[in-house]
Structure 1
Amino acid sequence: MRRRAALAASVAAVVAVVGIALSGPASAFLSEFGIEGMGVVSTKASEIRGSVSPDGQHIVWGSTDREGGAGGWDLWRARLKDGRWQDAKPVSVNSVANDFDPLFSADGKWLYFFSNRPGGQGGDDLYRAAVRDDGSFGPAENLGRGVNTRGDEWAPTPSRDGTRLLFASDGHGGAGGHDLLVARWDGKAFVQPTPVAGVNSKADEFDAAWLGDGRTLVFARSQDPATQPVRLFVAHCDGARYDDIAPLKLSFNTEDGTTLGPAVDWNKPGELLVSGTAKAPRAGKLDVYRMKAPTAEGKAGCGG
C-alpha cells in the first residue's frame, strides 16, 4: 500500500517531458549511463524495475500508468529485434489488480513479481510464473505463507542458484517499515525468512539486488516512501553482515530524487538496470536506465 502512495507522490513531483526520441541507444554516447529502450521500454509513463532474460532476448518491466494494460499496475515485455527493444506488450500474467516488480530467474525458467490480486495472503504478495519453451508464461503461482503475510511483500529476487530469495516486507516484524529478508528453498517452497544483517533500519529498505552472488548489495531506502525521496545505496558483506553503506554513485541518485528498482542483467552481469529520472536522456516520469554495476568488493557469507 505504501509503495503505491510513494510512487504516486514521486510521479506527481516530476514535471512533463518534451522531445521524446524514438531510436538510438543512449549508451552508445554516454559513459555513465544510458536510457533503456527509448520510446519502447522508457516512455512518457512511469517504467520501473527492468529485468532482462538470461538469453538477452526479452525485457520485462513494471509500469504504474502505461495505457493498454489489464488494469492497475501492469507488467510489460519487449523483444530484441535488430539490436533494439521492440513490440512492447502487456504480459499475459497481468490481472485487473496490481502486478509489479518483475525479475527473471538466472536460469530463465521463472518470472517473479508481486501482485495484490485476490486469493493471496493479503496486501501485496510474491508470485512467480513459469517461462515456457516458446517464451510464453504459465499461470501465476503464489509463493505461499513461507514468505507472504497480511502485509506487503515486494521485489522478489532469487539468487543465481535459485536456493535463496531476497525480498522486502513489512509483515514479518523487524527494524521498522519495510525490511529486507532472505528466505531459503526447502525443495517445495521458500521458507524461514531472516533479516538481511546490517542494512535494515527504522526507515524503509526495499528493491534490493545482489552483486557477485551476494558479496555486495544494492538497495533502496526512504525515511517515508509515501512522502520522502527514495535513494539507492550500496553495501558490502564483511563475511557475516553488510557494512560500509554508501549512496550508489550515479548522478541522478540524489537526496531529493527518486531512484529505485535495481536489477542485474543476467545476460551481462557487469551491468545494472535502475529506474529514476535523469536530466537527459529522458522519456517520461520514471525511466529505466542501464549503468555499469558497482564492483562486488565484499566477502561471501551474507546469503546471496
Structure 2
Amino acid sequence: MRTPLSLLALSLSLLFAPGALALSEFGIEGMGVVSTRANEAQASVAPDGRRIVWASDRPGGAGGWDLWQAVLRDGRWQDPTALALNTGADERDPFFSHDGRWLYFASNRDGGRGGLDLYAVAIEPDGRFGPVTPLPATINTASDERRPALRPDGQALLFARNGKGTQGGYDLYVASVRGGSAGTATALPAPFNSAADEEGGDWLGNDGALLVTRRTATGSQVWVVGCDAHPPAAPLALSFNTPDGQTGAPVVDASKPTELVLAGIARAPRAGGLDLYRMKTPTAPGGVCR
C-alpha cells in the first residue's frame, strides 16, 4: 500500500533531519528549532551544510526581525541562537555566498542610505562572523533593497529594489561582482519583472534562470523563470504555492543544490505562522541569458 504524500511529508518532518526530507514533495525544516510558533522567513544553509541562518520575529532577539542560527549535530538542527550582529531594527534575508566566506543580509539599521539596505559580513576561518559592511552605493540607495542572492559562480548579485522607475513596487536587479566590488545595478527585463512585485529570488545555476517571489494583491507565489518564453514562466510545483497563498524567499541549499528551502504557510505540517519548508530544486529552463 502506498503511503499518501501528505502523511509521508508529515512523518518525515518529525525526524527534524534535513537529509531525510529529500524523499517528499515538501517537509518542514527543523520543527520546533528552526520552524516555530513565530514567523520564520528566508533561510540559507552554509556550503558545508553545518549551519543554517534564517530570519525570525520570535522572542529572544534584539528586536523586530532578527537573524538566527542553528547547527547540524547528530543529523538535526540544534541550538537556535540569535546572531550578535542583530540590532533593534530589522535584520532579514540572509544568504551565504557559495564559497562560504560571506553572509549577506538586509537591514534598516541606523547608518544606511535609506530604508532597507544590503550588508555583508565576513565569516572567519573559525566560523565566527566578522564586522558588518554595507554594500556600496552602486547597490544601496534611498529606496529599499532586499533579498541578496549571489550567483553560484560569485560573479553576479541578484536583489530586489522598490522606488521610482520600477515596473511594479519591487523589481529584480542584477549587478556584476568582481573582487569585492559591485558594478552598476541593472533592472532585469520581462519575464523576470512584471507589473507585480518581484520581491527577490535565487539562481538556478549560472545561466540566468531564476526562482522568483512574485506578490500580487491576492498573495505571494514562487515562479520558475527562464530567459524566454520557451518554456514560459510557471509557478513552482508545490502544493501550497497558490496565487492566494503566502509562499516566497526560495534559496537553493548551497550544500545540497538538488534541494531548496522556502517560506510559506501550509495546512500540514505546520509549526506556527510562516514556516520554512524543504523541497526538491526544479530543473532550470533551458537556454543561456545574454
TM-score (norm 2): 0.90
Q: Is this contact kept in 2: 1:25–1:35, CA < 8 A?
A: no
Say whether residues 1:57 and 2:50 are aligned partners: yes
Percent identity of the aligned residues? 52
1:216 is displaced (CA, Å) by 2.2
Give the counterpart letter for 2:269 in structure 1: P
Distance 2:132 2:76 in 1: 28
Equivalence map 1:1-304=2 (5 Å): 24-25=16-17, 27-28=20-21, 31-63=24-56, 65-171=57-163, 173-198=165-190, 199-224=192-217, 228-238=218-228, 244-301=232-289
Q: Is this contact kept in 1: 2:144–2:162, CA < 8 A?
A: yes
Give the counterpart letter for 2:117 in structure 1: D
CA 1:28 to 1:170, structure 2 compared with 1: closer, same or farther past 3 Å?
Answer: closer
Distance 2:86 2:283 in 1: 35
Distance 1:28 1:264 in 2: 14
What do the CA deviations read for 1:267-301 (whole angstroms, capped 9, x no partner)?
11111111101111111101110000110122222
Gaps of 5+ in 2: 1-12
1:24 is displaced (CA, Å) by 4.0
Give the counterpart letter for 1:218 in structure 2: L
Q: CA RMSD, aligned part only?
A: 1.9
Distance 1:215 1:130 in 2: 26
Structure 1 segments, 4+ long, off by >3 Å, are: 21-30
CA 1:172 to 1:188, structure 2 compared with 1: closer, same or farther past 3 Å?
Answer: farther
Distance 1:28 1:235 in 2: 25
Q: What residue in structure 2 maps to residue 17 of structure 1?
A: none
1:122 is displaced (CA, Å) by 0.4
SS at match of 2:257: strand
Distance 1:145 1:90 in 2: 28
CA 1:192 to 1:29, structure 2 compared with 1: closer, same or farther past 3 Å?
Answer: closer
Q: What residue in structure 1 maps to residue 5 of structure 2?
A: none
Distance 1:42 1:78 in 2: 11
Distance 1:280 1:231 in 2: 18
Q: Is this contact kept in 2: 1:111–1:130, CA < 8 A?
A: yes
What do the CA deviations read for 1:240-278 (whole angstroms, capped 9, x no partner)?
x99711111100001111001100001111111111011
Give the counterpart letter for 2:184 in structure 1: Q
Gaps of 5+ in 1: 1-20
1:191 is displaced (CA, Å) by 2.2
1:215 is displaced (CA, Å) by 4.0
Q: Is this contact kept in 1: 2:231–2:285, CA < 8 A?
A: no
TM-score (norm 1): 0.86
Distance 2:233 2:46 in 1: 29
Per mean C-alpha deviation after superposition, the further-off stretch among 284-293 and 21-30 is 21-30
What do the CA deviations read for 1:82-136 (whole angstroms, capped 9, x no partner)?
0000000001211111100000000000000000001111000000100111111
What do the CA deviations read for 1:50-82 (whole angstroms, capped 9, x no partner)?
10000000000001x201001111000000000
Equivalent pairs counted in the alignment come to 276
Q: Is this contact kept in 1: 2:199–2:212, CA < 8 A?
A: yes
SS at match of 2:185: strand
